[in-house]
Structure 1
Amino acid sequence: MARFEGKSIIVTGAASGIGRAAARLFAEEGGKVFLADWSESVLEAAEEIKAAGGTATGRKVDVGVEAETQAMVAAAKAAHGDLHIIFANAGVGGGRDSVLEGSADLWAETLRVNLIGPAMAIKHGAPLIQDSGGGAIVCTASVAGINSGAGSAHYSASKAGVMSLVKTAAQQLTGAGVRVNAVCPGIIETGMTKPVFDYAREKGKLDRVGRLNPLQRYGAPEEVARVALFLASEDASYLNGQSIAVDGGLSSSHPVTRQVYGQVAV
Structure 2
Amino acid sequence: MSKRFEGKSIIVTGGGSGIGAASCRLFAEAGGKVLVCDRTEAAHDTAATIREAGGIAAARVMDAGVEADVQAMVAAAVDLHGGLDVLFANAGISGGRESILEADEALWAETLRVNLIGPALAIKYAAPVMVEAGGGAIICTASVAGINSGAGSSHYSASKAGVMSLVKTAAQQLTGSGVRVNAICPGVIETGMTKPVFDYAREAGKLAKIGRINPLQRAAQPEEIGTVALFLASDDASYLNGQSIAVDGGLSSSHPVTRQLFGQVAV
Amino acid at match of 1:31: G
Structure 2 unaligned segments of length 5 or more: list them: 258-267
Q: Which residue of 1 aligns with 2:154?
A: 153
Q: Which residue of 2 aligns with 1:19?
A: 20
Q: Which residue of 2 aligns with 1:113?
A: 114
- Partners of 1:94 and 1:155 within 8 A in 2: yes
- Partners of 2:149 and 2:256 within 8 A in 1: no
Q: Secondary structure at the match of 2:184?
A: strand
Q: Which residue of 1 aligns with 2:136?
A: 135
TM-score by length of 1: 0.95
Q: Which residue of 1 aligns with 2:247?
A: 246
Q: Does 1:38 align with 2:39?
A: yes
Q: How many Å separate the matches in 1 of 2:121 and 2:36?
A: 16
Amino acid at match of 1:245: A
Alpha-carbon deviations, 1:167-196, whole Å to 9, x = none? 000000001110000000001011100010
Amino acid at match of 1:85: V
- For residues 219-234 of structure 1, the aligned pairs below 5 Å read 219-234=220-235
Q: How many Å separate the matches in 2 of 1:94 and 1:104?
A: 12
Q: Which residue of 2 aligns with 1:209?
A: 210
- Structure 1's consecutive aligned runs of 4 or more residues displaced over 2 angstroms after TM superposition are none
Q: How many Å separate the matches in 1 of 2:255 and 2:39?
A: 37
Amino acid at match of 1:120: L
Deviation of 1:135 (Å):
1.1
Let me know the Cα RMSD of the aligned residues: 0.8
Q: Secondary structure at the match of 2:217?
A: coil
Q: How many Å separate the matches in 2 of 1:6 and 1:150?
A: 38
Q: How many Å separate the matches in 2 of 1:255 and 1:26?
A: 33
Q: Secondary structure at the match of 2:227?
A: helix
Q: How many Å separate the matches in 2 of 1:10 and 1:126?
A: 12
TM-score by length of 2: 0.95
Deviation of 1:133 (Å):
2.2
Q: Secondary structure at the match of 1:33?
A: strand
Q: Secondary structure at the match of 1:5?
A: coil
Q: Which residue of 2 aligns with 1:260?
A: none
- Partners of 1:94 and 1:151 within 8 A in 2: no
Q: Which residue of 1 aligns with 2:103?
A: 102
Q: How many Å separate the matches in 1 of 2:49 and 2:113?
A: 29
Deviation of 1:255 (Å):
4.1
Q: How many Å separate the matches in 2 of 1:94 and 1:211?
A: 24
Q: How many Å separate the matches in 2 of 1:255 and 1:17?
A: 25
Between the aligned residues of both structures, percent identity stands at 73
Q: How many Å separate the matches in 1 of 2:47 and 2:256?
A: 42
Deviation of 1:3 (Å):
1.1
- Partners of 1:10 and 1:85 within 8 A in 2: yes
